[in-house]
């Protein structure tokens, strides 16, 4: 950055000498130590700062370019971000990995060992949070000015341990050893109100909050790949006012009372709610949502005013994407700011608001659609409730004028649910307040418009569209699978595919090339050796790198049907005991976390571990079948498992998984999918070709029909001897006593049609095994999967959002 009048900045260079000088100097000035006496943690922290400095320089130039261009900015509001580890990413994006490796080696330290000190900030549950991170990566890579807003939870998603086969949740104090990637911005604190009352002052309504909490931002840098752009994610942490601590109480020995007020405030950003489907946590959760929204909107307005003075251009300069409904309070909050604080008239404010917001829905499950009790909402946010009512009034008037006399329709479209309790429907609020609403895969967007949001789609068809999810090829191929990335670059003659993923098509011509196939298999085998080393250290289970690596990794949910996979494992075990040639040598890897309160799936985790114990101890199947539950699935674990996978399990009940993104990551890394016609599986199969995908199961329409009809899982179990044997094995207690509850859900309602799809699933698995027996055939399928995955790049997803929702232009950042 040019500094015409200030003191000269230290030059940031990429040569080994410059890198070493900066590293040693950071060690000395930031950690107060020297190479001779530094701990590994010291070296890690200094290395991180050295790499970070290279991004800071780009960030400064990015901010200058944005200020000059006054562009339309994309603001992404999300309660979750799963950014993954930062060190290797940032080494790569700054082109300093080799330099760092050499410099450290010269200093007698190994980069690989140091890199293990890097901690992933697990500020999310699953797909929704990781999608946010992939989109930010692609936004920066596309030079689109963007800020991600989120909450800096002190404790991320719980760390999962397995004790006696069961999930145990431990706190994830991710910043415990320091957090070198963060830039705290204490001087930008922002007050957020809660509770209180509404007063009328000179004819205007105004909220007088009763409680105030401070939002303290901190930044993480989000570099683009192959560009100078560095965007930011701005995470808010709740702080009490500095005089909230009660000295008198403390002096009198009442230490708990002394910190009461501090705790009450700071609890707001204490933990991420580990729900991945239904809503719970109530008041604190609603407080979190408003906290995020209030801090972020204030910041967005501040940024707007740095470059503009006229509200009429606000929506031309600002687009706010709501990542699901968790930040939907932003709609009434922007109205409150515009009408109450900036004194715009209601209609002008409403027109600005609608043009500003867009909403992405990530579910179809009715139980996952957020609603808030009106009574709670009124107590916490009295002025916002008035605004929601006013928005609803105008909205229902519009419905009445378009569909006169249809009281039922008005009730269905209302922002307020009346029965059994009055509640605010956040998805309705988000739709009404947005100019664009999108689902995350073609099937999902269609079903949204036909079922969940059908009435809205009839009212405003022009608002609805699909934007199929995508994943970052930088993280999930280049960083996670450097061996495959190197092979691809070698054959495609460069790394252009990293930002133009359709180039992978060039690999299709090599699918049958035996030498290329051999190299492809060597890469996969080496990746399996890495996974095996980790699994052995973490669980003691030994994996065979030549076995088919069959992975079911994602959050635990009944609709994702980990139990269907487990029934397959039990049947395989039976078959192999009778005939060792009944299946190919296979390793089945399960990983994923269950919401702590989701008892039914925590039981499934226990059952998996029970089955794994029996199978792995059975000499009759040694070397044929191994089952492992790898604890604590997160982005870092995914980066280890995904490159090693041969077979990708995407077996949710059709019509339940909005999109899935693990399906994309695995196929991109050459895993072949066994999957249902659900979410983005459909688009994946269309692209990689039906011959390179093992399809099974009922489709969404058929599933809905079965559910409506007279479905009798017991009859299916009775007429399929292998299934009956698998269920009997669970019942007889060999995997642990008392799994009657699991059997009851299967034989009772079997909500997710596990038994209905069992036979088709086994047939698909047999087809997969047959393909695996022919390595040339399998490898060709694997290569074709990677070759046809270009569409699933997050760069394409961002281009779709840009062209069809955001209409934001890139702002290139000039090199130094
Ligand atoms: O979003 C996931 C979908 O299940 C998956 O199909 C899709 O690919 C992905 C990205 O679009 N949804 C998801 O991860 N949802 C959550 O994690 C979540 C978190 C919290 C709550 C609800 C859902 N909550 O109610 O608090």
- Whether 704 has a pLDDT exceeding 50, the answer reads yes
Would you say 591 and 602 are in contact if contact means Cβ atoms under 8 Å apart? no
User: How far is Cα of residue 98 from the mean position of the Cα atoms in its chain?
Assistant: 30
Query: Is the CB of residue 362 below 6 angstroms from any atom belonging to ligand 1?
Result: yes
Kind plus residue range of the DSSP H or E element containing 401 = helix 382-402
At 646, give phi and psi (nearest 5°).
Answer: -100, -40
Q: Which two tokens stand for residue 441?
A: 């895969």
> Dihedral sign, CA of 78, 83, 89, 94?
positive
Given 3.40.50.2300, 3.40.50.2000, 3.40.50.300, 3.20.20.70, which CATH number is that of 513-788? 3.40.50.2000
Query: Is the CB of residue 273 below 6 angstroms from any atom belonging to ligand 1?
Result: yes
CA of 131 to the centre of ligand 1 (A): 9
Q: 70-85+120-468+802-806 sits in which CATH class?
A: alpha beta
Query: Is the CB of residue 485 below 6 angstroms from any atom belonging to ligand 1?
Result: no
Domain boundaries, the chain: 70-85+120-468+802-806, 513-788
| Most ligand 1 atoms within 8 A of CB, residue of 124, 362, 597 to mutate | 362
Pairing state between β 318-323 and 122-123: unpaired
Q: What does the pLDDT look like over 300-356, one tens digit per residue?
A: 999 999 999 999 999 999 999 999 999 999 999 999 999 999 999 999 999 999 999
Cα 530 from Cα 524, distance rounded (Å): 10
Would you say 564 and 601 are in contact if contact means Cβ atoms under 8 Å apart? no
- Whether 2 has a pLDDT exceeding 50, the answer reads no
Query: Is the CB of residue 275 below 6 angstroms from any atom belonging to ligand 1?
Result: yes
Q: CA 646 → CA 507, 565, 637, 663, 704, distances in Å?
A: 18, 15, 16, 12, 31
| Most ligand 1 atoms within 8 A of CB, residue of 76, 123, 127 to mutate | 127
Would you say 588 and 625 are in contact if contact means Cβ atoms under 8 Å apart? yes
Please report the atom of ligand 1 found closest to the CA of residue 130: 10
Residue, of 279 and 104, whose pLDDT is higher: 104
| Complex ipTM > 0.90 | yes
Would you say 588 and 777 are in contact if contact means Cβ atoms under 8 Å apart? no
Pairing state between β 371-373 and 423-425: antiparallel
Q: What does the pLDDT look like over 751-792, one tens digit per residue?
A: 999 999 999 999 999 999 999 999 999 999 999 999 999 999
**Could you tell me which of 159, 156, 93 has the C-alpha nearest to residue 124?**
156
How many angstroms separate the first and last alpha carbons of the chain? 7
Cα 48 from Cα 220, distance rounded (Å): 13
Fold match between 70-85+120-468+802-806 and 513-788?
yes
Name residue 199's beta-bridge partners.
Answer: 206
467: left (phi over 0), alpha (psi -120 to 50) or beta: beta
- Whether 282 has a pLDDT exceeding 90, the answer reads no
Cα 441 from Cα 652, distance rounded (Å): 15
**Could you tell me which of 419, 368, 410 has the C-alpha nearest to residue 392?**
410
Full DSSP string of 302-324? HHHHHH---GGGHHHHEEEEEES
Query: Is the CB of residue 136 below 6 angstroms from any atom belonging to ligand 1?
Result: no
**Which residue among 31, 88, 362, 428 is the active-site one?**
362
pLDDT for residue 816: 85
CA of 127 to the centre of ligand 1 (A): 6
Q: What three-state secondary structure class fits 574?
A: helix
- Whether 375 has a pLDDT exceeding 90, the answer reads yes
Cβ–Cβ contacts within 10 Å for residue 304, how many?
18
Cα 114 from Cα 48, distance rounded (Å): 10
pLDDT for residue 277: 66
Q: Whose CA is nearest to atom 5 of ligand 1?
A: 660
Annotated catalytic residue 665: yes
DSSP state of 345: -
Q: What three-state secondary structure class fits 778?
A: helix
Q: CA 627 → CA 167, 332, 370, 569, distances in Å?
A: 17, 50, 37, 8
Percent residues over pLDDT 90 in the chain: 95
Q: Is 87 exposed, middle or buried (0-12, 13-18, 19+ CB in 10 A)?
A: buried
Q: Whose CA is nearest to atom 1 of ligand 1?
A: 128
Cα 796 from Cα 809, distance rounded (Å): 15
Would you say 606 and 766 are in contact if contact means Cβ atoms under 8 Å apart? no
Q: What does the pLDDT look like over 403-428, one tens digit per residue?
A: 999 999 999 999 999 999 999 999 99
**Could you tell me which of 484, 565, 642, 480 has the C-alpha nearest to residue 92?**
480
Cα 557 from Cα 543, distance rounded (Å): 26
Would you say 551 and 569 are in contact if contact means Cβ atoms under 8 Å apart? no
Q: What three-state secondary structure class fits 82?
A: strand
Q: What does the pLDDT look like over 496-526, one tens digit per residue?
A: 999 999 999 999 999 999 999 999 999 999 9
CA of 659 to the centre of ligand 1 (A): 10
Would you say 94 and 86 are in contact if contact means Cβ atoms under 8 Å apart? no
Q: What does the pLDDT look like over 432-447, one tens digit per residue?
A: 999 999 999 999 999 9
Q: What does the pLDDT look like over 42-86, one tens digit per residue?
A: 999 999 999 999 999 899 999 999 999 999 999 999 999 999 999
Q: What does the pLDDT look like over 184-195, one tens digit per residue?
A: 999 999 999 999
Q: Which two tokens stand for residue 665?
A: 């990551």
Annotated catalytic residue 505: no
Annotated catalytic residue 554: yes
Query: Is the CB of residue 660 below 6 angstroms from any atom belonging to ligand 1?
Result: yes
Kind plus residue range of the DSSP H or E element containing 206 = strand 204-208
Q: Quickly state the pLDDT bin for 7 (edges 50, 70, 90).
A: low
Query: Is the CB of residue 125 below 6 angstroms from any atom belonging to ligand 1?
Result: yes
User: How far is Cα of residue 29 from the mean position of the Cα atoms in its chain?
Assistant: 36
pLDDT for residue 5: 45
Annotated catalytic residue 661: yes
Q: What sections of 473-624 are H helices per DSSP?
A: 473, 482-492, 514-539, 562-578, 599-617
Cα 490 from Cα 516, distance rounded (Å): 11
CA of 656 to the centre of ligand 1 (A): 12
Annotated catalytic residue 270: no
| Residue for token pair 């192959």 | 226
| Most ligand 1 atoms within 8 A of CB, residue of 125, 447, 466 to mutate | 125
Q: Whose CA is nearest to atom 25 of ligand 1?
A: 279
Query: Is the CB of residue 661 below 6 angstroms from any atom belonging to ligand 1?
Result: yes
pLDDT for residue 14: 78
Annotated catalytic residue 362: yes
- In three-state form (DSSP H/G/I as H, E/B as E, the rest C), the secondary structure along 487-526 is HHHHHHCCCHHHCCHHHHHHHHHHCCCHHHHHHHHHHHHH
């Amino acid at each position: 950055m040019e500094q015409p009048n200030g003191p000269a900045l230290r030059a940031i260079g990429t040569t080994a000498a410059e890198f070493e000088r900066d590293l040693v100097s950071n060690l000395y000035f930031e950690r107060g130590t020297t190479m001779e006496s530094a701990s590994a943690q010291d070296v890690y922290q200094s290395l991180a700062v050295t790499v970070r400095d290279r991004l800071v320089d780009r960030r400064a130039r990015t901010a200058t370019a944005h200020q000059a261009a006054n562009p339309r900015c994309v603001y992404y509001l999300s309660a979750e971000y799963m950014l993954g580890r930062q060190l290797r990413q940032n080494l790569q994006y700054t082109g300093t990995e080799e330099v760092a490796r050499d410099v450290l080696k010269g200093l007698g330290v190994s980069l690989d060992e140091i890199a293990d000190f890097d901690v992933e900030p697990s500020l999310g549950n699953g797909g929704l949070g990781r999608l946010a991170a992939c989109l930010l990566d692609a936004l920066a890579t596309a030079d689109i000015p963007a800020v991600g807003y989120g909450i800096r939870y002190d404790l991320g998603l719980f760390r999962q341990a397995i004790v006696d086969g069961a999930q145990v949740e431990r706190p994830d104090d991710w910043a415990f050893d320091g957090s070198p990637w963060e830039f705290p911005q204490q001087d930008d604190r922002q007050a957020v109100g809660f509770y209180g009352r509404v007063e009328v002052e000179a004819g205007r309504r105004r909220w007088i909050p009763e409680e105030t909490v401070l939002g303290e931002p901190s930044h993480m840098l989000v570099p683009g790949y192959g560009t100078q752009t560095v965007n930011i994610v701005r995470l808010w942490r709740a702080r009490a006012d500095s005089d909230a601590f009660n000295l008198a109480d403390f002096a009198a020995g009442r230490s708990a009372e002394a910190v009461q007020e501090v705790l009450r405030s700071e609890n707001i950003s204490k933990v991420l709610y580990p729900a991945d489907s239904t809503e719970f946590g109530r008041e604190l959760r609603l407080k979190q949502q408003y906290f995020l929204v209030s801090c972020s909107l204030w910041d967005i307005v501040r940024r707007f005013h740095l470059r503009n003075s006229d509200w009429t251009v606000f929506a031309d300069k600002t687009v706010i994407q709501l990542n699901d409904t968790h930040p939907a309070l932003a709609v009434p909050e922007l109205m409150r700011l515009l009408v109450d604080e900036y004194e715009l008239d209601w209609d002008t404010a409403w027109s600005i608001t609608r043009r500003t917001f867009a909403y992405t829905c990530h579910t179809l499950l009715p139980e996952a659609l957020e609603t808030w009790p009106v009574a709670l909402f009124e107590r916490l946010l009295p002025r916002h409730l008035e605004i929601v009512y006013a928005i609803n009034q105008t909205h229902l008037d519009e419905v009445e004028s378009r569909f006169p006399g249809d009281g039922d329709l008005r009730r269905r479209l209302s922002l307020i649910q009346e029965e059994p309790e009055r509640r605010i429907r956040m998805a309705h609020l988000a739709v009404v307040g947005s100019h664009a609403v999108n689902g995350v895969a073609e099937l999902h967007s269609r079903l949204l418009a036909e079922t969940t949001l059908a009435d809205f789609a009839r009212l405003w068809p022009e608002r609805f569209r699909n934007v199929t999810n995508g994943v970052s090829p930088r993280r999930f191929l280049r960083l996670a699978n450097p061996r495959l990335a190197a092979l691809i670059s070698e054959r495609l003659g460069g790394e252009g595919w990293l930002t133009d993923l359709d180039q992978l098509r060039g690999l299709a011509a090599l699918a049958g090339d035996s030498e290329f196939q051999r190299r492809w298999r060597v890469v996969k085998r080496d990746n399996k050796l890495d996974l095996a080393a980790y699994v052995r250290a973490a669980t003691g289970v030994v994996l065979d790198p030549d076995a088919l690596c069959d992975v079911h990794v994602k959050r635990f949910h009944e609709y994702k049907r980990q139990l269907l996979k487990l029934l397959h494992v039990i049947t395989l075990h039976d078959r192999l005991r009778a005939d060792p040639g009944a299946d190919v040598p296979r390793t089945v890897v399960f990983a994923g976390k269950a919401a702590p309160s989701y008892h039914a799936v925590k039981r499934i985790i226990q059952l998996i571990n029970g089955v794994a114990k029996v199978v792995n101890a059975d000499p009759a199947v040694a070397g044929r079948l191994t089952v492992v539950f790898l604890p604590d699935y997160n982005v870092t674990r995914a980066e280890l498992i995904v490159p090693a996978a041969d077979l990708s399990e995407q077996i949710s009940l059709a019509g339940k998984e909005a999109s899935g993104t693990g399906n994309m990551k695995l196929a991109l890394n050459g895993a072949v999918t066994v999957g249902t016609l659900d979410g983005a599986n459909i688009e994946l199969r269309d692209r990689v070709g039906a011959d390179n995908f093992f399809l099974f199961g009922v489709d969404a329409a058929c599933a809905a029909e079965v559910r409506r009809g007279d479905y009798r899982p017991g009859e299916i179990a009775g007429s399929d001897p292998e299934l009956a044997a698998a269920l009997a094995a669970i019942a007889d207690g060999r995997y642990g006593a008392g799994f009657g509850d699991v059997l009851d859900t299967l034989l009772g309602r079997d909500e997710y049609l596990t038994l209905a799809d069992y036979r088709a699933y086994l047939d698909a698995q047999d087809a997969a095994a047959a393909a695996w027996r022919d390595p040339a055939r399998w490898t060709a399928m694997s290569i074709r999967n990677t070759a046809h995955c270009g569409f699933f790049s997050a760069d394409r997803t961002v281009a779709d959002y840009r062209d069809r929702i955001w209409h934001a232009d890139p702002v290139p950042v000039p090199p130094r």
